[in-house]
Amino acid sequence: MRRERPQSFADYTPLFFPGLMLIVFFVVPFSTMIAVSFFKRDPVGFYTRDFVFDNYARFLSTFFGGVLGFSLLLAIGVAVCCVLIAFPFTYLLTQRPRRVQTLWLVGLLSVLSLSEVIIGFAWSTLLSRTAGITNLFVWLGLMEAPVALLPSVWAVLTGMVYQALPYTILVLYPALVRLDPTLLEAARTLGASPVRAFLNVVTPALRNTLVATLIMVFVFALGSYLLPQILGRPQHWTLSVLITDQAIYQSNMPFAAAMAVFLVLISLALVGLTLFVGRRENAG
């Protein structure tokens, strides 16, 4: 089907409202945030209007480097864990009857209705000493006494993987359900086991989809805010938590704005990389 170019100004009118919303709710706030990031902090108030690079110079500090490094490593860990779990699960799901697939998808959509607050406090209860899962291990004789599994980096990682896993499955599902079944049939005919066919046929065929999914989950995890606070210690806080801490509790709005600009630019760059990978897959 050939796409025709707009012939008159009236053909662009459907883009007016989305463009206006983009300007009002993204361009204007982001431009204001960029301007504030160059202001100078005022110990008496929030800031004074100035043009300094002190806020961006603080990016070179050891403290910011540690927070940024932990945020990136945590987001990478969440993305890798989600894809390693969701990819084989989604593949097995697509092999089930349509009714079973529908039930699972409805269940995943219901999980998405849970807020981050509910997920955080549910996992904090599950990993606690008094009412947590270790009490079950004690009852089974696997442990002598219940222990608290939080706050810890593993608790933060577990909660974030649980939160991002439904999104990962729903992103992988359309690509796997459209996969040509004759490829697997040919591999099985040639003597490949189900596991070997999955690793040597399905995985290479969806390589670009897996890369795009990894980037999407990475961006999603990079902006996590509540779970690191509920399930972790201050040293497990991500860059999003630090931005809020600087803006509200430290009254350092310019530095918070500079970190927010940095985080938005990273997210936009990764989203652009995801679109590039998607175009390559469609072109291929």
pLDDT profile of the chain (284 residues), mean per 10: 62 79 87 89 77 85 85 92 93 88 88 85 88 85 84 91 92 87 77 79 84 88 87 86 84 88 86 73 58
SS3 per residue for the chain: CCCCCCCCHHHHHHHHHHHHHHHHHHHHHHHHHHHHHCCEECCCCCEECCCCCHHHHHHHCHHHHHHHHHHHHHHHHHHHHHHHHHHHHHHHHHCCCHHHHHHHHHHHHHHHCCCHHHHHHHHHHHCCCCCCCHHHHHHCCCCCCCCCCCCCHHHHHHHHHHHHHHHHHHHHHHHHHCCCHHHHHHHHHCCCCHHHHHHHHHHHHCHHHHHHHHHHHHHHHHCCCHHHHHHCCHHHCCHHHHHHHHHHHCCCHHHHHHHHHHHHHHHHHHHHHHHHHHHHHHHC
Q: Residue 107 and residue 284: Cα distance in Å, rounded?
A: 33
At 5 the pLDDT is 67
Q: Which of 97, 232, 91, 217 is nearest to 162 (CA)?
A: 217
At 160 the pLDDT is 92
41: burial class by Cβ within 10 Å (0-12, 13-18, 19+)? buried
At 282 the pLDDT is 59
What pTM, to 2 d.p., does this model score? Answer: 0.83
Domain 84-256: top CATH class: mainly alpha
223: Cα separation from own chain's centroid: 7
Q: How many residues in the chain? A: 284
At 45 the pLDDT is 66
Q: Which of 55, 51, 59, 53 is nearest to 254 (CA)?
A: 55
At 67 the pLDDT is 86
